[in-house]
Structures are given as structure tokens and as C-alpha cells.
Structure 1
Amino acid sequence: MSDKEDEKAFLPTPAAQRNEKNHPSSLIAIVVAFYFVISLSVVFLNKYILSSSQYEFPYPLFVTWFQLVVALIVIFIWAELGKSYKTFSIIPPYEFDTSIAKKIAPLTFIYVMMLALNNLCLKYVEVTFYQVARSLSINFTILFTYVILKQKTSSATLVACFIVFLGFAIGSYGEINFSWAGIFYGVGSSAFVALYGIYVKKTLGAVDNNQWRLLHYNTTLAILMLGPLVLLSGEIGEIMTKVDFLDSFQFWTLMTITGITGFGINIAMFLQVKYTSALTNTISGTAKSCVQTILAAMIFQNTITVLNGVGILLALFGSGYYSYVRYNEMMSR
């Protein structure tokens, strides 16, 4: 079997095969709205905890680890409810087989780096610039697709990548609260997002193409992998000596809610894949990025310079154009 055929064998049902004809428009609207709310909540709540709230808690690795623990607990509860209630049956009973875990571990490492660098990026950059800082995931996807999968990319896709990079460069230059650390973590997160998108296709085969079984292993292994990093980073020591609100019920409630929304993005994406078309996915993803930037400017009162604004618009436009090109390419196959 060739590499290309091998890759296709691990892919879930193509989005292009879905349609919205059998679903009422009200249901589709609810699903898209749910995706918007959950996706935006994940970003805003993380930023709020890390650097903007009364409980300023600048410990992104611990926050990421705690959210994974919350997610695993939710998986346990959801899976148990699924045994009695059909509504919750989308998630199978929890499992952990060491032989399967060994196959998934490399992907989990990428997953951990993706999540950790994402929160580290949020710690150092404004939410208005966050989308720009992580926009290079498109460019890395093209690069890794060529280097790893040996697949060439269309000229239209390369144009989209150039627009995104131009937006990234201009936006970075115009950012008032510029942070090299934020840029570094944003670029790093983008790289691991791209790697995850490539390797998840092959790894799904280890769990019979079941994304929920993969979530079991990914979450469990991520907790085990990230734990030592949290300890080595020194965050635990700082938390114990510098944080004076560890006994606050409100703080841990906020942390738990953030963890639940982090898990909720999996449900939101599942529902969107199930009930909407590829075109709706494309449009909603781009629209969400625009709404996120606008809301961030309003909520966090971030100052946007002319260059920063141009960079943000270019990055958003490039990302939207890339999604449009990829959608058309997928539909033409």
C-alpha cells in the first residue's frame, strides 16, 4: 500500500460528503452558535485566568494540566451516563490499553506541546493579536504536508499562505504590547497544530478511527506527560508560595468551568461535523476568528494600531481565503 493510500485509510468520512438537507435550519444555527460560544469561551476564559482577572494566575502549564484533569473527569462521567442515556452515548466507555497507548504516545506529545504553547502564547499576547500569533499554522501545514507527506500544494493555497505571513509580519511590527516570548510560543503552537493535524490521521487507525477513543488516550497520556513538565517548570513552587487565593471556591470554580469548556470544544466540533456541511464549517471558522478579535478589543480594551489592524485583517483574510481554497479543492475531488 502506498503512503497516499495508507493515509486515506485512516481518514474519517470526508466533510464533502455531508450535507445539511436533512437538518432544519434552526438546528444548524444552534449547533453553529454553540460552537461559537464554546470556542470563544475557551480563549477568553484562559486569557482571563492567566493575566486579566482578579485571580491573576500566570501559570499556563499548571492551568493546562488542570484543564486536562477536568476533561478526563468529564469523559468518565459522560461515558458512564452513556450507558443509561442514549443522548450521551457518543462517547464510549473509558478504556486504556498500554499497547494502544504506546502507538498514540507520539501524537500525545504533539498534543501536549500544542496545548501548552497555546496557553503560554495567551499569557504573553493580547487576545486581539492571538489570532495573528497563531495564524502561521496554515503555513506550517503546507510545509509539513510537503516535507512529511510529500504532497504538493496548489498555487492558490500558496497565495493564501503568503497573505497570512504578510499579516503576521505587519501585525507583529504594529503590536503595541509586542512580546518575543508571545511570538515564539505562538509560532511554536502553530507548528504543533499543523503537526497534530497531519499525524492524527494516521494515529486514528490505532483506535479504529474513533475520535472519542483517541480522546481517552490523548487526555490520559497528556496528564501523565505534562505533570513532570509542570513540576520541572517551578510553577508548583511559585503557586504554593505566591498565590494567596488557593482556598477560594470562586477561583477553583472558574478553573473548573474553563476545563469544562476546553472539553466542550470537542463536543462542539463533533456536532458541527455531524449536522453542518463543509462550507458551513469553513464560514463559521473564519467568522469566529473575526468575532473573537472584535470582542477581545471590546472586552479587554486592547489598543489596536493601524499596522496591527492591517496585520489582523490580512491574517484573517488569508485564513479565510485558505479555507475557501481548501473547500473548493475538496469538493472537486
Structure 2
Amino acid sequence: MANYKEDDDIQLSRQDGQDESQEAFLPPPATTQSEKQNGVSLIVAVIGFYFAISLSVVFLNKIIMSGSDFPYALFVTWYQLVVALVLLLIWAHLGKSYALFSIIPPFEFNPAIAKRVAPLTFVYVMMLALNNLCLKYVEVTFYQVARSLSINFTILFTYLILGKTTSAPALIACGIVFLGFAIGSYGEINFSWAGVIYGVGSSAFVALYGIYVQKTLPAVDNNQWKLLHYNTTLAIFFLFPLVLVSGELSDMLANSMDVMYRMNFWVLMTITGITGFGINIAMFLQVKYTSALTNTICGTAKACVQTILAAMIFQNPISSLNALGILLALFGSGYYGWVRYQERLAK
């Protein structure tokens, strides 16, 4: 796939959770004309698949880490990366014989290329680890707010690292997001400083990730799937020392062996890893068959559905201030996406 502009790519990385780790690999979606060339049923199926996969990632991760039986967010992240690598290897092997799977190239690992990808992988590991740690400590209804500052960090790092300025409407959107973050945090009933700190840290690394992807893509011939091969492989090696240093592995072996002997636990862990990998496919299809405007609307709509479902499933109490903060953060994020879409059309 052709390379794409840095500001467009950084904008794509604004979505939540696992989405952010994958969207930055993808080129900016086509204009609305692309949707006219595809049937309505196909568009609906692609959007439905994206919703199902994206929501599954968040809720399954929360189910695994919300209980006291297995509160090991770093190990969960590491295992999901292992599952993703296995699926990449299987998919790439099938691609040699079946055209349906040919979008992912054969696996390769060149040490010289890996060295160039390593800085991106460090950012990637920190983004995923802090994301799951945030999800561990906050309610899913507050999760979107806790991680909403990725837009603000994107604008900050775009200016500091790339020297690019941002339009006034985009800055206004960032102000709305920050206001929503502040009000939502103040009004959160089950407030957690750890969760907020991890969420802010994750947002910062999401913004850095969008920038570093652009700097790293030339090393893999601008092939996002090849970059995914290197990034996932290196991330497995980078994250495991964190699992050891954090004490999660020793604590897990000492206190959670009964959980680890349960087959249903590993089935759930593996399904979560599969859905995490599925984000790659979902975003690829959505970018290919829909438009930039549809992607923007889907991201905001999915965040709204996620918050509503979380309130229904987990019965999280929501104060009036918390609800206001959630609405402002979602509105600011949606407005930011709309502004970037309009700017892209103007170009």
C-alpha cells in the first residue's frame, strides 16, 4: 500500500483501546465516493464486524482482569501478543495457497530491519501495557474518558517532534476533550488514581505511536502487515521482562495456579487474543470499503455504544458530573475527527 501523510495517520490513531494499536498501520480511508462503489449490505457487514470485534476486545479484557482471581494485566497483554503472532504465522502460511488470505505476506525477520523497528516496538509495548492496566483499574464506563487525551498528546507531539501546527477548530476540540476528562474524573464514583495515570500514559504513547509508525514504515517497504510481523515479534520479547520485573509472574505462579489449571480460562484468554488480532482485519476492511467520514462516525458511535453497554452489563454507577464528562469527551473526539476529515477534503 502507498505511504500516507503523517497528519492523516496520526488522526487515525485516536480511537480507543486495541483499535489504536492497529489503526496507525492503515492508510487514510477513501472519500465517500468509495461507498458508492460498494453495496449497502457489504458496508453494514464491515461496520458490524468492526463493532463486534472492537467491543469484544474491551469487554473480554475487562472480564479477565476485573476479578481478583487473575489481576495480571501485563501477562494478559503478553499472552495476547503470542496468540496474535501465531495467527499471523498461520494466516501468512495460508496466504501461499489461498488468495483470500494473501493480504498478509509470508513471515520474515531480518535483524537489521528489526533494529530499525525496535523504537516503535517500545512505544507499542508501553501503549498496550498501560492500556490494559488502565482497563484493570477503571470502570468501562469511565475507560473512554480516562484515555481520551490521546488527541491532546497527538497535537502536542506533532508540534514538538514534527514542527506542525494545528488549526483553531482542532484546538477547540481538544479543549472540549480535556474539559470532559477533568469533569468526568471529578465526577467518577469509583475513581482510581492508578487507572487515570495509566490512562493518561497510554494516551501519550498512542500519540507517539502514530508518529513513530510513519518514521518506521519505510524500513519495511511501507507494508503495514510486514511491520505488524516485526512489531508483534519484538513486542513479545520486550514485554516479557516487564512481566518478570513487575512481579506478576512469580505472584501468578504462587497464587493463581488453580486458575491456570482451568481450561475455560485459557479458552477465554485465547479468544481475547484472537479478537485483538481481529482488529487488524476489521480496520483493514473498514478502511478499504468505507470512507473517512464513516470511520469517524463509527469511532464515536462505537465509544457511545461501549459506554452504554458497560453501564448495562457491569452496572457501573454514573454520577451526573461523570455523565457530563463522558458526553463532552465523546463530543470533543467526534468533533476532532470531523475537523480532520474536513481538512483532509480541503487538501
> Which band: TM-score by shorter chain?
over 0.9
Q: 1:274 aligns with which of 288, 300, 309?
A: 288
In structure 2, the residue matched to 1:108 is 121
Matched residue SS, 1:152: coil
Aligned to 2:61: 46
After TM superposition, list the pairs within 5 Å mapping 1:287-326 onto structure 2. Answer: 287-326=301-340
Partner Cα distance (2:97, 2:30) in 1 = 33
Q: How far off is 1:201 after superposition?
A: 1.2
Matches within 5 A, 1:108-257: 108-243=121-256, 244-257=258-271
The one-letter code sitting in structure 2 at the alignment partner of 1:251 is F
Paired AA for residue 307 in structure 1: L
Alignment-mate amino acid for residue 209 of structure 1: N
Per-residue CA distance 1:100-126 (angstroms, 9 max, x = gap): 000000000000000000000001000
Q: How many percent identity over aligned positions?
A: 73
Tell whether 2:71 aligns with 1:23: no
AA aligned to 2:43 is I
1:42 is matched by which residue type in structure 2?
A: V
Tell me, in whole angstroms, the C-alpha distance in 2 between the residues paired with 1:77 and 1:313. Answer: 41
Taking a change above 3 Å as real, the CA distance of residues 278 and 158 of structure 1, as seen in their structure-2 partners, is same
In 1, Cα distance between equivalents of 2:229 and 2:339: 33
Residues 26 and 116 (structure 1), Cα distance of their counterparts in 2 relative to 1, 3 Å cut: same
Q: How does 1:75-90 map to 2 (within 5 A)?
A: 75-90=88-103
Q: Which of the numbers 38, 63, 66 marks the counterpart of 2:76?
A: 63
Instruction: Choose the corresponding residue for 2:112, options 99, 106, 115.
Output: 99
> Deviation string for 1:164-206 (max 9, x for gaps)?
0000000000001111100000000000001001111121111
Task: Provide, for residues 184-231 of structure 1, a one-character-per-residue CA deviation record: whole Å limited to 9, x for no partner.
Answer: 000000000010011111211111111100000000000000011111
Cα root mean square deviation, aligned: 1.6
Alpha-carbon distance between aligned partners in 1 of 2:26 and 2:221, rounded to the nearest angstrom: 10
Separation in 2, partners of 1:16, 1:158: 25
CA deviations on 1:69-125 (whole Å, 9 max, x unpaired) are 000000011111111111111111111000000000000000000000000000100
CA distance in 2, matches of 1:272, 1:16: 10
* Structure 1 portions without partners, runs of 5+: none
Distance across 1 between alignment mates of 2:296 and 2:135: 24
Counterpart residue identity of residue 213, structure 2: V
Contact 1:16 1:330 in 2 (8 A): no
- Given that 1:12 and 1:209 are in contact with CA atoms closer than 8 Å, whether structure 2 keeps it comes out as no
C-alpha distance in structure 1 between counterparts of 2:196 and 2:27, whole Å: 35
Contact 1:64 1:115 in 2 (8 A): yes
In structure 1, what is the Cα distance between the partners aligned to 2:178 and 2:279? 27
Q: TM-score, normalised by structure 2?
A: 0.91
Q: CA deviation at 1:23?
A: 0.9
Q: Is the 8 A contact 1:157 1:322 kept in 2?
A: yes
Count of residues in correspondence between the two structures: 326
Distance, in Å, in 1 between the alignment partners of 2:149 and 2:199 is 8
Alignment check: 8 A CA contact 1:129 1:171 kept: yes
